[in-house]
Chains A and B, each alone.
Chain A
Amino acid sequence: MEEARDHNVLSCLQRLEMGALGFHSRDPEELLKKDRLHQLNCRVLTLRMQRNKLKVEVQRIKEAKAALDEGISPDSNGEENGAKSSQHTLPLLMARRTQLKDTLRAHHLIGGYEVVEIDSGRRVCYSLSTEYEDTYLDTYHLELDLTRGVRIHRHDIPPSIPLKNLAQENLETDLPAFLHTLREHVSGLASRLYQLRLIKEQVETVSVMETNPLCSVLVLMCKIPGEEETAMLLSLRYGDPIKALPTRVTLESSDKSLPDEPQWKEAKSLFLEVPPHRVLLALRNQGQIL
């Protein structure tokens, strides 16, 4: 009976039809492949549309520029010129928007702030950029509610930064001063964290023994070359929360006389003036540490 049903004409036709439509295989892997091809096809078509649209826009702005070069003013009154110039109004406005976008971005790059108005000016969001030398680091955000005075609505400032204290000092009275102080604090923290990262990446032989969330204490262990390998414990304390250089350096070693040696005294003073990862690299290159 089973065999008879299997060789049924209808089921045979159904199998043929499914095969013709590409469904002859119910293999999930094959169906996935079909789906993937379909997705890729859609992506190609979308990108082509985007490309073609951009080509048209580039052509339009080129024409607008050519018209301006020929001396057709965008606000001219002549009928022909007027019709022609109205086509160029949009590209010119786009040029103005690009100009403003560039200037705003430049302000963000050089000033470290970005301001965005939210909820029809009822709230303002400030982005605070941080940097260390040539590298831009994390960006922190602070949203202020302006409906009843100035209040902090939400933020992603690290908890180790005393935001409440800073806000009490001058948030309501002098907003630019508050933002400046806050940015100095986040910049200091970001710089110290980045230095810690550079020590781990560039001077692998130095072990980081201890640090804290504010990165104001950094205890490092270096190995001193010699017949008997000696360890040197280096404690860096950052007394100023807005600075990226330590204010106090202490050296400890099992060999008590070692920290008093002239080269280590020099290294100690160097840590107060030069970023720690650079000092450690120099010490390693000179063979003072392993």
Chain B
Amino acid sequence: MPLVESTLARDLAPVDGGLTDTEAGKLTEREEVRNPSTSLSLPGTKVTWAERMEDEYETEILQLCEEIAALEAEKENIEREVSVQYGQELSNVLGAIEEDDGRSRKDTSKLMDDIEKMEKNLARQTKLNGITLTACRVKTIEKSKTKVVQQHRLMGHCCHLSFQVQFEIIETQVEDTFIRKVMNLSIVMDGNEIKDITSVVSRVEETKSLLLFFRILKSFSANCEHRSKTFQHFKEKYPDMVSLPEGCQSELMLIQSPKLQGCTMCIFWDIEVTLEGDVRPKLDLLMKMPEKAMRMDSKNIVENAPDYFLNLLRILGPEASIESVIKTVCV
């Protein structure tokens, strides 16, 4: 049946311009009119022909879908390469278009509007998340009709804590259900404070709990910020008595009275992080007294000071408790 095959070949030949549904319909009708023999063949043969056509079409549809997915991934990856390599030039382009005459602006106005909206959106998103991304590299590793694999490399900071995170997102579609999973999560962090959360970070990497990590990071950095501001406040308010030997970012604050030589109070402000993601401050008071003073302490005030301080914390909170400790030394 050479005629049938030639019709099929003509039907499946690449179309440069592309056609609308109506045009496609007319084309099919014309071919049937032009080649009545395809329709007038024996009933048995006709069914086989229709089935073969259907198979051919379905095979090509699958191939085209795969090809489109691959091209989309390629396009996105090249665009990402360009944006990474030529970030500055992109800003210049935006500036040039702003000043340009109407015609080229008309061509790009849709894109410009999109970009403007996205930039506004990004500012809102950054504010809401409390996380600033300084670099975002995405690479599409695999893309098909039912599966997308993307590799993300993010750099940024939350308050003064900086991080680098790398992970893969695998999106699969099984019938109507859409599943999104995190794979190969690795986290690198900078800063003195990170020793408090290293165990949690390794647990997060193990369970690949991406959202949990950032929830902990936000809460932890907010706590660090609060501690740092509080220490700084007391250092400025009582410069003669308060010292921060390891800087305001550390967990240690020393209170020494100029009048009482050898009498030192240490406040340790730790930030505890549980594996479930709870972040809470833990403050302790340690006292260092000369031997003489210790012998005179008949009521065991020095020994019980840490417990008294914990009771104060429960009632007054960190700032007021530290203030009252400093004031006892002032007298």
Contacts and interface: CB of A to CB of B under 8 A. Distances in A.
Interface of A: 19-22, 24, 33-34, 36-38, 40-52, 54-55, 57-58, 61-62, 64-65, 68, 73-75, 86, 89-117, 129, 131, 133-136, 176, 179, 187, 243-245
Given A49-B18, A134-B208, A107 B122 contact: yes
Contacts of A176: 127-128, 130
A133 B206 CA distance: 9
B115 A100 contact: yes
B24 A93 contact: no
9 contacts: A41-B27, A52-B16, A61-B82, A93-B111, A97-B111, A99-B79, A107-B125, A110-B165, A134-B208
Interface in B86-123: 86, 89-90, 92-97, 104, 107-108, 111-112, 114-115, 117-122
B208 A33 contact: no
A64 B169 CA distance: 29
B80 A102 contact: yes
B85 interface: yes
A41 B64 contact: no
A113 B128 contact: yes
B276 interface: yes
A188 to B, nearest CB: 11
B115 A93 contact: yes
Contacts of B58: 40
Given A93-B93, A96-B90, A51 B180 contact: no
Q: Give the residue among A20, A90, A109 with the most B Cβ atoms within 10 A.
A: A109
A107 B129 contact: yes
B57 A40 contact: yes
A51 B67 contact: yes
A139 to B, nearest CB: 10
Contacts of B65: 47
Contacts, number: 251
Nearest to A135: B181
B33 interface: yes
B239 interface: no
A106 B154 contact: yes
Given A24-B39, A45-B15, A51-B68, 6 more contacts: A43-B61, A52-B16, A61-B79, A65-B81, A92-B89, A176-B127
B60 interface: yes
Given A41-B24, A52-B18, A100 B75 contact: no
B136 interface: yes
A143 B74 CA distance: 36
A119 to B, nearest CB: 14
A95 B24 contact: no
Interface stretch (B193-201, B210-218, B245-253): B210-218
Given A44-B61, A110-B131, A73 B82 contact: no
B131 A45 contact: no
Contact of B19 (A36, A45, A57): A45
A102 B138 contact: yes
A37 B39 contact: no
B50 A94 contact: no
Nearest to B153: A106
B25 A99 contact: no
B72 interface: yes
A135 B210 CA distance: 9
B55 to A, nearest CB: 10
Contact of B136 (A45, A103, A116): A103
B170 to A, nearest CB: 10
A115 B207 contact: no
A122 B286 CA distance: 55
B236 interface: no
Contacts of B235: none
B97 A89 contact: yes
Contacts of B211: 109-112, 129, 131, 187
Contacts of B215: 112
A19 B259 CA distance: 117
Contacts of A113: 125, 128-129
Interface string B48-62: 001001100110110
A97 B82 CA distance: 11
B214 to A, nearest CB: 5
A141 B233 CA distance: 41
Given A44-B60, A54-B72, A109 B169 contact: yes
B85 A68 contact: yes
B247 to A, nearest CB: 29
Given A48-B15, A51-B71, A110-B211, A74 B76 contact: no
A249 to B, nearest CB: 16
A189 to B, nearest CB: 15
A44 B39 contact: no
